[in-house]
Amino acid sequence: MAVRFNRSDDGPANSKHNPPAQHEPLKPIRISSAGTPRKQTARFDAKSAEHLPAKKVIAGAAYVTDGDTITINKTQVRLFGIDAPELNHPYGKKAKWALVKLCKGHKVRAEITEKDDYGRTVALCTLPDGRDLSAEMVKMGLAIDWPKFSGGVYQKMETPDARRKLWLAAARQKGHMHVWEKFEAKKAVS
């Protein structure tokens, strides 16, 4: 990072072609590596500072419900930012058993982010080695990113065939619940 000096007023920058007048003090401006001035931040004021709320974290052995839901210490936890197939949908059981394999024998750490519409706790869940369970499920092609909730952080991790393979989850994200209803009705008849 470089430091450049400007005049204290809004006049032109100091340079060999436009030197400052003797009476004007120079004030430093931080320059980013891209060469653009960085905004000066206000000094810390302890009196007006607000504390961030403490993050609630639960940890323990995980009981896997399906490909995007686990239970830790009797708390049902939905994995943050992804959507995996339901157990009775294509790849549903495969997603569940892949998550079981990831969690087996590990203490899972769940950093709670919010509650979902069904009252489940939504959390960023990690293994002791730091791996994000949501990211791992997406990389395996057994879950897809849900940008509405994740901001798209897992989108680039999706396998090329994931949305085609997990078409019911993709339909839910687009609000095409008639596709789900048609699938469920067909299953009930079979």
Q: Given pLDDT bands bounded at 50, 70 and 90, which one contains residue 14? A: very low
- What's the pLDDT at 32? 57
Ordered domains of the chain (ranges, CATH): 2-31 (no CATH), 57-189 (2.40.50.90)
Q: Residue 100: is its pLDDT beyond 80?
A: yes
Mean pLDDT in residue range 126-148: 94
The string of pLDDT tens digits covering residues 160-183 is 888 887 766 766 766 656 665 776
Which helix or strand (DSSP H or E) is residue 79 part of?
strand 75-79
Residue that is written with structure tokens 């982010």 in the block: 113
* 145 and 81 Cβ atoms separated by less than 8 Å: yes
Give percent above pLDDT 90 in the chain.
Answer: 43
Length of the chain: 190
Which helix or strand (DSSP H or E) is residue 108 part of?
strand 108-115
CA 158 to chain CA centroid, Å, is 14
* Residue 14: strand pairing partners: none
Average pLDDT along the chain: 79
Q: What is the pTM of this model?
A: 0.67
**In angstroms, rounded to a whole number, what is the distance separating the alpha carbons of residues 111 and 84?**
20
- Within 10 angstroms of residue 163's Cβ, the number of other Cβ atoms is 16
The string of pLDDT tens digits covering residues 30-48 is 555 555 555 666 677 777 7
- What's the pLDDT at 119? 81
Radius of gyration of the chain from Cα atoms?
26
More confident residue, 60 or 190: 60
